[in-house]
């Protein structure tokens, strides 16, 4: 029965994600093992469930009927496990989480490792990426995403705002002077985050007393990881604009100095997202509470979609 449930899980995941390879990745198994589970189901049922080619896969008529039944069965199993977890009052199981690279590495990872240390029955897989992640389609229990949030199938718990800070090292400022206005940045060595648009420059925006200040920055050094920019700025190679979460340790240690403190760089709302359609097992509720407590939003909590956290 355990193997049959696993095979059903692989079948549903492969259907949801559109490929056996994606399902195998989401479930932490090899593509060969995922294929073996599908063949086992087909052999047991005596009929093909999927039509597979080198480019795509689709369900047979029998596969579509079986898919709907499998979803119901697996949903009931998950609900039953959640009930037992609640009775035992001990969160246990595996949680798959995704978060932006800079925030995930510098702020979220320490919170999650402490969480795992306190809960012996919990396992966490943390995937760091700055691309858009769909928690339902890609098999994540929860994702941290920068807003706005539009999906109606997700519940969103608002976290602390993703504020940005412009800074440089004391050595750089001693050698090159301190910019007093955003416009002064044009005369400084600025370190750029790789622009997703592919343009050879970045635009840094600031506000003060309701007025906007926009500066076009050309950087001789660009990278797609804020931690590298923080280290480069701390080493005296230029001025960086990055989320406060990435720069906080260097600022507290004195290796970076905040600049243009009378101006505000635009921040972005940040949310912890999870499915509104799935039951929330104790392990997920415990994780949500932990993350929201560690990164409380300033002001009220926002929720989108169906249900409440």
pLDDT in tens, 42-90: 999 999 999 876 567 789 999 999 998 998 888 888 777 776 666 667 7
Higher-confidence position of 275 and 38 = 38
φ, ψ of residue 127 to 5 degrees: the values are -110, 120
**Are residues 164 and 267 in contact, defined by beta-carbon separation less than 8 angstroms?**
yes
Residue 33 near residue 27 (C-beta atoms within 8 A): no
Q: Whole-angstrom Cα distance, residue 203 to residue 227?
A: 20
pLDDT band (50, 70, 90) for residue 301: very low
Average pLDDT over every residue of 123-136:
87
Looking at the predicted structure, is the pLDDT value of residue 306 above 80?
A: no
Judge whether residue 176 has pLDDT over 90.
yes
- The pLDDT > 90 percentage for the chain reads 45
Question: Is pLDDT larger for residue 308 or for residue 65?
Answer: 65
pLDDT for 54: 57
Q: What angle do CA 299, 301, 306 make, to 5 degrees?
A: 160
| pLDDT category of residue 302 using cuts at 50, 70 and 90 | very low
What is the average pLDDT across 149-160?
82
HSE value, Cβ hemisphere, 13 Å, CA-based, for 219: 24
Positions of E strands within 209-247: 211-217, 221-223, 239-243
* Confidence tier at 199 by pLDDT (50, 70, 90): low
Q: Per-residue pLDDT averaged across 188-194, rounded?
A: 88
What's the confidence (pLDDT) of residue 179?
95
Look at 2-16, 141-155, 278-292 and tell me which has the smallest mean pLDDT. Answer: 141-155
Q: Is the peptide bond before 243 cis (omega within 30 degrees of 0)?
A: no
Which of 161 and 182 is assigned the larger pLDDT? 182
pLDDT of residue 114: 96
pLDDT by residue (tens digit) across 40-49? 999 999 999 9
- pLDDT for 307: 34
Mean per-residue pLDDT, 187-215: 81
Q: Kindly report whether the global pTM for this prediction surpasses the value 0.85.
A: no
């Amino acid at each position: 029965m355990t193997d049959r449930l696993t095979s059903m899980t692989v079948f549903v995941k492969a259907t949801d994600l559109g490929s056996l390879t994606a399902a195998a990745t989401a479930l932490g198994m090899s593509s060969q093992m995922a294929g073996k589970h599908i063949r086992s189901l087909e052999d047991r049922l005596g009929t093909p469930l999927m039509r597979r080619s080198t480019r795509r896969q689709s369900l047979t008529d029998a596969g579509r009927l079986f898919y709907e039944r499998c979803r119901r069965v697996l949903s009931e199993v998950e609900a039953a496990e959640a009930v037992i977890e609640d009775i035992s009052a001990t969160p246990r199981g595996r949680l798959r989480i995704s978060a932006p690279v800079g925030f995930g590495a510098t702020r979220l990872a320490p919170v999650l490792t402490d969480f795992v240390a306190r809960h012996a029955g919990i396992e966490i897989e943390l995937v760091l990426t700055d691309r858009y992640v769909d928690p339902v389609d890609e098999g994540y229990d929860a994702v941290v995403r920068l807003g706005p949030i539009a999906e109606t199938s997700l519940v969103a718990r608002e976290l602390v705002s993703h504020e940005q800070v412009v800074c440089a090292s004391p050595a750089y400022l001693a050698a090159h002077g301190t910019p007093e206005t955003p416009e002064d940045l044009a005369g400084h060595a600025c370190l750029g985050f790789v622009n997703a648009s592919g343009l050879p420059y970045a635009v840094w925006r600031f506000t003060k007393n309701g007025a906007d200040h926009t500066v076009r920055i050309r950087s001789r050094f660009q990278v797609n990881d804020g931690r590298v920019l923080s280290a480069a700025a701390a080493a005296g190679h230029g001025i960086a604009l990055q989320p406060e979460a990435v720069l906080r340790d260097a600022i507290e240690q004195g290796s970076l100095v905040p600049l243009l403190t009378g101006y505000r760089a635009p921040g972005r709302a940040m949310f912890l997202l999870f499915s509104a359609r799935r039951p929330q097992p104790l392990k997920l509720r415990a994780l949500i509470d932990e993350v929201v407590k560690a990164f409380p939003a300033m002001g009220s909590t926002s929720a989108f979609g169906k249900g409440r956290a």
